Amino acid sequence: MEAVLEAFLSHYNYGMAIILMMIGLYALIAKQNLVKKLIGLNIFQTAIFLFYISFADVEGGIAPIYLPEGMEAIYVNPLPHVLILTAIVVGVSVTAVGLSLIVRIYEEYGVIDEAGLLKMVKRR
């Protein structure tokens, strides 16, 4: 029991991240509404970010902020943080492009769900 709890405790946030990813992926693929798809995309991306932050975290570590001379501490790994900063910017750009496309599609076809769109595209 102890061992199981141990294993669970050391890995549960990975599991959670994966659940979140799956939720996002499901929305991306299965949802008909285009805005819902993008919400799914956001969840999917943040879940990946969560995964990065999780593995960067070190037991008993502290935030990688410069400490005065003489103080020793275990920093958490700062590199994934930097990576994720970049990835967040990329993610918001993708969302912005996607949303502007949805607005355009709505202006052209008057619908924002996939089934309706398919009908409209075929009709033209």
Partner 1 sequence: MIWDLDFALLLFMIICAIAAITVRDLLHAAVILAAYSLIMTVLWSEMNAVDVAFTEAVVGAGVTTVLFIAAIARTERSSSD
Partner 2 sequence: MIEHLPVLLVTVPIVAALLILLLGWHDSRFCYPLTLATILFQFAGGIALLIEVMREGTIHYYLGGWAPPLGIEFVIDTFNGYILPIVLLLALATAVYARRSVEKEIKPEKIVSFYVLFQLLVTGLVGMTITGDIFNLYVFLEISSIAAYTLIASSRKPRAYVAALNYLVLGSIAGGFVLLGIGNLYVATGTLNMADLARLLPASYGLATVHTAFLLLVIGFSIKVALFPLHLWLPDAYTEAPSAVTVLISTVMAKVSVYAMFRVIFSVFTTAYFVETVPVTELILFIAAVAIVAGAVLAIAQEDLKRMLAYSSVSQVGYIVFALGVANQIALEGGLLHILGHAVMKGCLFMVAGVIIYRLGTSSFSDLKGVAATMPVTCAAFALAGASMIGVPPTIGFASKYYLVLGALEAGHWVYAAVLLAGSLLAVGYIWRFIEVAYFSASSHHEGGDHHPAPGVREAPLSMLVPMVILSILCLVLGIFVDPLMKIVAPAVSLLLGGA
Interface ranges with partner 2 (CB under 8 A): 21, 25, 28, 34, 37, 41, 44-45, 48, 51-52, 55, 79-80, 83, 86-87, 90, 93-94, 97-98, 101-102, 104-105, 108-109, 117, 121, 124
In sequence order, the 6+-apart residues with CB closer than 8 A to the CB of 43 are 20, 21, 23, 24, 27
Query: Are the beta carbons of 41 and 24 closer than 8 angstroms?
Result: yes
Length of the chain equals 124
Side chain identity at residue 61, one-letter code: G
Task: Using CB under 8 A, pick the residue from 11, 67, 100, 118 that binds partner 1.
Answer: 100
Q: 66 — phi, psi (to 5°)?
A: -60, 130
Helix, strand, or coil (residue 62): strand
Contacting positions for partner 1 (CB under 8 A): 9, 12-13, 16, 19-20, 23-24, 26-27, 31-33, 35-36, 38-40, 42-43, 46, 49-50, 53-54, 56-57, 59, 61-65, 76, 81, 84-85, 88-89, 92, 95-96, 99-100, 102-103, 106, 112-113
